């Protein structure tokens, strides 16, 4: 595997699960990991364990994102890797104080906003941007006229659409920022044993949190493996930027990811939604 020694790697959703596992491995490999989480107690616990810096943000409140970005821009000379890993699945359609459907906002708009706010430093650093997507993206559909599932809402549908949004976001980052040296990838971590399914619909809550779920779900370490691999290797040499990965291999992405007109229109729509927070 490549060398991450002394690289600055920012990981959102780093307080547990895949994010914490990736942080531990990358720290062990010599990276300077910077943890971003929603829960102060959980994020601080991982930070104390790794003697790492940490910051708090809740993507359900978009006005928290710019102060985070300002701190990251001020405190780090480079951001070599940005891992957009925070995410959730929610049990009923909920509109945030920002006026957006919660799953769409936390899984897409929050990381989209953070990435945009860090743009100049990411380009200067020739950074790698890694976004935790999901195989659920294959069941998603981006409808420009129903982006936030106002019609026919379902918890899994909203989640699948948000994960497809992550794939489209990755494609457009590659097209727009790739010429400036930024590399982007999305990946499927597997179905991971963590607290992820809490507050989802009854099936997910049941499946993710059964006492014996650990026997058929991947460990957070296995789930983090492709993230660590993407962060540690050389884009353009070891993997192709702009693509979707699973188990360290390029995987089939949703056909909408190949519709450039849609990808660009979705990027523009997302940009409009975050303008007031830039």
Q: What domains does the chain contain, in order, with CATH numbers?
A: 8-277 (3.40.50.720)
Per-residue pLDDT, 208: 47
Distance CA 89, CA 106 (A): 9
CA geometry: angle 225, 227, 231, nearest 5 deg: 115
Which comes out higher in pLDDT, residue 22 or 219? 22
In eight-state DSSP terms, residue 214 is: G
pLDDT in tens, 109-141: 999 999 999 999 999 999 999 999 999 999 999
Q: Which residues are known to be catalytic?
A: 159
Confidence at 239, pLDDT banded by 50, 70, 90: very high
Instruction: Give the mean pLDDT of 173-188.
Output: 98
Instruction: Give the mean pLDDT of 266-278.
Output: 97
Average pLDDT, the chain: 92
Residue 50 has pLDDT above 50, yes or no: yes
Q: Which residues pair with 128 in a beta bridge?
A: 81, 183
pLDDT in tens, 68-81: 999 999 999 999 99
Q: Where are the alpha helices (DSSP H) in 1-128?
A: 17-28, 40-50, 65-75, 102-104, 110-117, 119-124
Share of the chain above pLDDT 90, in %: 85
Structure tokens that stand for 1 in this block: 């595997």
């Amino acid at each position: 595997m490549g060398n991450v020694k002394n690289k600055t790697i920012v990981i959102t959703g780093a307080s547990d699960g895949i994010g914490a596992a990736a942080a531990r491995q990358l720290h062990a490999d010599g990276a300077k990991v910077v943890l971003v989480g929603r829960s102060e107690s959980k994020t601080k616990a991982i930070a104390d364990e790794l003697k790492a810096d940490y910051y708090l943000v809740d993507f359900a409140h978009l006005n928290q994102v710019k102060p985070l970005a300002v701190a990251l821009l001020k405190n780090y000379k480079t951001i070599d890797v940005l891992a957009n890993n925070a995410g959730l699945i929610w049990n009923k359609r909920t509109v945030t104080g920002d006026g957006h459907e919660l799953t769409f906002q936390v899984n897409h708009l929050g990381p989209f906003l953070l990435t945009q706010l860090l743009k100049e430093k990411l380009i200067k650093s020739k950074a790698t941007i890694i976004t935790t997507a999901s195989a659920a993206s294959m069941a998603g559909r981006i409808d420009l006229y129903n982006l936030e599932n106002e019609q026919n809402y379902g918890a899994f549908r909203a989640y699948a659409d948000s994960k497809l949004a992550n794939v489209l976001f990755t494609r457009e980052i590659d097209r727009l920022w790739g010429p400036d040296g930024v590399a982007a990838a999305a990946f499927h971590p597997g179905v991971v044993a963590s607290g992820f399914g809490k507050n989802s619909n009854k099936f997910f809550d049941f499946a993710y949190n059964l006492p014996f779920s650990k026997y058929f779900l991947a460990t957070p370490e296995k789930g983090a493996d492709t993230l660590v691999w993407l962060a540690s290797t050389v884009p353009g040499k070891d993997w192709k930027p702009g693509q979707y990965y699973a188990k360290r291999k390029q995987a089939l992405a949703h056909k909408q990811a190949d519709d450039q007109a849609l990808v660009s229109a979705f990027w523009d729509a997302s940009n409009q939604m975050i303008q007031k927070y830039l």
